[in-house]
Amino acid sequence: MKKTLLAGVALAMTMACAPAIARDYVIHAGHLIDGINPGERSQVSIVVHDDQITAVQDGFVTPAGAEVIDLSQGTVMPGLIDAHVHLTLDLTKGNALLQSVTHSSYDETLDGVGNARLTLLAGFTSVRDVGGDTAVVVALKRAQKAGTIAGPRMWVSGSILSPTGGHGDPANGFDPALTKPGWQDGIVDGPDEAVKKVREHFRDGVDLIKIVPSGGVASVGDDPQAQLMTDAEIKAVVDTAHTLHLPVAAHAHGAQAIDHASAIGVDSIEHGSFATSTSYAIMKQHGTYLVPTLIAGATVVEFAQKHPELLGPSMAEKAMAVGPIMAKNLYAAWKAGVKIAFGTDAGVYHHGQNGREFELMVKAGMPVADVLRSSFVGAANLIGESRIGAIRPGAFADIVATDRDPMADITELQRVRFVMQGGRVVKDHGEPRI
């Protein structure tokens, strides 16, 4: 009985999510932010065939056989891109330490399916998942690609590579006698282990490597200011990963970890809280992206004040030290000319609220056009996929729309009304179609 029910659910999911039969659409866009040119265009037609945009034309035209999607009252943009999410995690659900020993990888998988859907419905058609059980996130990515589940296109790092006792060591804070299968998957001590772990991750299907050169906030005991991976370990990761054409994302709060990781050649600094003017100079010289994750900063401060019981030992104190500084850092980095890639740390806050990051970035002092660019251009370049983040012929038909213009009111991006992904309408008039 149970088996039949499950099979039925699986069949329904497959039918609901299977890619639509090839179909031609033309979108009549009242305003268009194309993700390429500065400014906006009015009254533009976007022609979609299968999963791609085939033409972008001035005026409202209707090619023979194309179904019209009338967004003539709205503002149309490329699908949003978030370069820092954790689809399988949700720290808002309760104490993180407790969750890590009461939640199985099956729970994480099913949570990931739900969170992927929420993220897509929020208008995010592409994400980088920078930390989760390798087998689980690789499976999610494959299921999305196959059309089995609805979610953003995914580029995944699998488990975070961390030194013993560092930000990515799941055993932190537990009785040393305790262990769990998988807890050692990301632990690297010494360059040789780092090389091996990168190769194993590559074999297991990841698209990038995530390392934690500094301590972090949502972990027990490690110091966000300290550089906890050695330069030799970071270099071993970067050299091996780049040989395998995998970019490297480095979680780093303290200045030394930011400076060293950037100089060694990581592709992005995640968070970057305590960066200095020297850090910005090094990042510019090496073309390193900053992924600011302001919602994470704001959320951990909120937790520390309202729900310290959800945080493990030492986390509340660290949150108060790190959280408030992140917005200041973003403004300073932008002013210094550091490349910015939009990223939010979804999973630290509720999935599907990624759009809040745009508002926080504008509040931090970044101009709206540059904030939008950080998602369409910054995150797309960091991911390394030229067919996302732009409305142009040859790009994926990943297209969203808001009722009002986000250039005038950035909070509109928290109310995305229309979402098309790969030529398939997944949300229309604010209503999910998946």
What is the contact surface with Zn ion in residues (CB under 5 A)? 345
Query: Which segments within 123-240 are labelled E, that is strand?
Result: 124-129, 153-156, 209-211
Strand partners, 154: 127
Give me the least distance between CB of 424 and Zn ion, in Å please.
29
State the Cα–Cα distance between residues 241 and 231, nearest whole angstrom. 15
Cβ proximity to Zn ion, 31 vs 141, nearer residue: 141
Q: Which of 336, 355, 335 is nearest to 346 (CA)?
A: 355
Give me the least distance between CB of 309 and Zn ion, in Å please.
22
State the Cα–Cα distance between residues 226 and 164, nearest whole angstrom. 14
State the Cα–Cα distance between residues 247 and 207, nearest whole angstrom. 8
Cβ proximity to Zn ion, 126 vs 421, nearer residue: 126
Give me the least distance between CB of 2 and Zn ion, in Å please.
36
Q: Which of 380, 370, 296, 376 is nearest to 333 (CA)?
A: 370
Residue burial 376-394, b: 16+ Cβ < 10 Å; e: rest: bbbbbbbbebebbbbbbee
Cβ proximity to Zn ion, 141 vs 427, nearer residue: 141
Cβ proximity to Zn ion, 288 vs 421, nearer residue: 288
Query: Which segments within 118-204 are labelled E, that is strand?
Result: 124-129, 153-156
Cβ proximity to Zn ion, 249 vs 419, nearer residue: 249
* Nearest residue to Zn ion on Cβ basis: 345
Cβ proximity to Zn ion, 45 vs 162, nearer residue: 162
Cβ proximity to Zn ion, 151 vs 422, nearer residue: 151
Distances (CA, A) of 106 to 113, 133, 139, 425: 11, 11, 11, 29
Give me the least distance between CB of 381 and Zn ion, in Å please.
20
Give me the least distance between CB of 211 and Zn ion, in Å please.
12
3-class DSSP assignment, residue 409: coil
- The H or E element spanning position 92 is none
Give me the least distance between CB of 130 and Zn ion, in Å please.
6
Cβ proximity to Zn ion, 132 vs 355, nearer residue: 132
Give me the least distance between CB of 244 and Zn ion, in Å please.
22
Phi, psi of 45 (to 5 degrees): -110, 135
Tokens coding 281: 């100079």
Give me the least distance between CB of 263 and Zn ion, in Å please.
22
Q: Which of 5, 35, 104, 79 is nearest to 371 (CA)?
A: 35
Cβ proximity to Zn ion, 34 vs 345, nearer residue: 345
State the Cα–Cα distance between residues 149 and 156, nearest whole angstrom. 16
**184 Cβ partners below 8 Å, 6+ apart?**
none
Give me the least distance between CB of 333 and Zn ion, in Å please.
18
Is 123 in contact with 82 (CB distance < 8 Å)?
no
